[in-house]
Amino acid sequence: MKILIAILILIFSINSTFAQKAKDKQAETTKPFVLGEIVEIQSKELAEKRVLNIYLPEGYNSNDTIKYPVIYLLDGSADEDFIHVVGLVQFNSFEWINQVPKSIVVGIATVDRRRDFTFPTTISRDKNRFPTSGNSDKFISFIEKELQPFIGTKYKTNTSKTLIGQSLGGLFATEVLLKKPTLFNKYIIISPSLWWNNGSLLNETSALLTETFTQPTSIYVAVGKEGLTPTEIPRVMEVDANLLVEKLKLTKSKNVKVFFDYLPQENHGTIMHQAVSNSFRFFYPIPKE
């Protein structure tokens, strides 16, 4: 009798174990972790399709009346800067942080950054090294005539538009700032490659610098400890960044604010994340109690 009872207990225990495992297995589910959406648009200006990575803030609803700032990110592929910059935007817009307003992020995936981010150069060595370079005018037209109108039509946007660019992207952002300053009202320019064409962009005249420039515009420029540039004529990244800031601070417009951030603990490869984080504190200072 005792043996029979022991057998029954063992059978019940085994059945319970298998039943629990089956229940646990049924309870397990796997689904994708979605950070945003991928959109492809056909560009006539560039004669190609371009991929956009779009982050929509928590609570975004196309049926409500709330409109959001847009942050345009150069080098915005998933394997470039899109994911970590979106993380900064999301974190800083949490209610308990409240540093940055909830924003849409548009990551412009890279195709050929040397082609898209540079204007024509007179330096023969650079022409040979970068044979596709010199088409930033087309990329500016793409942003102005196609990208911004597309985003403004498809998503619920307000008038706040930020451009983020680093390295050659910083060169491009500087070119937009000086040549088409009203395309954006916030510029985050990080370690700009102002050495291009022997620093000719530093001599560019701009409506931004005149007394009649009326659009409120905030400009953040950051540089790390980066040293000599890849040029035949010696240039220093930190010096060029300082020259840009000095030029911008000479503006006669009362509507332009310029912030300079020297980050000596960062280099050309590490500066991006910290600089973007710092820029939010410049653009959106929290009032002291």
- pLDDT, tens only, 11-51: 555 556 555 555 555 578 888 888 899 999 999 999 999 99
Q: Is residue 23 part of a domain?
A: no
Q: What is the dihedral of CA 175, 208, 191, 140, to 10 degrees?
A: -30
Domain carrying residue 75: 37-283
Sequence-distant (6+) residues with CB within 8 A of 110 are: 74, 75, 76, 77, 80, 116
CA dist 194 and 244 (Å) reads 9
Q: Is 126 contained in some domain? A: yes
Question: Number of folded domains in the chain?
Answer: 1
Alpha-carbon gap, residue 170 to 175, rounded angstroms? 9
pLDDT per position as a tens digit, 94-140? 999 999 999 999 999 999 999 999 999 999 999 999 999 999 999 99
Q: What backbone phi and psi angles, to 5 degrees, belong to 282?
A: -70, -45
Whose tokens are 């005249």? That residue is: 205
Residue 278 belongs to some domain of the structure = yes
Average pLDDT for residues 131-159, to the nearest whole number? 98
- What band does 3 get if pLDDT is binned at 50, 70 and 90? low
CATH number for the domain spanning 184: value is 3.40.50.1820
Confidence band for 220, pLDDT divided at 50, 70 and 90: very high
Query: What is the three-class DSSP state of 118?
Result: coil
pTM of the model: 0.90
pLDDT on residue 22:
54
The more confidently predicted of residues 14 and 283 is 283
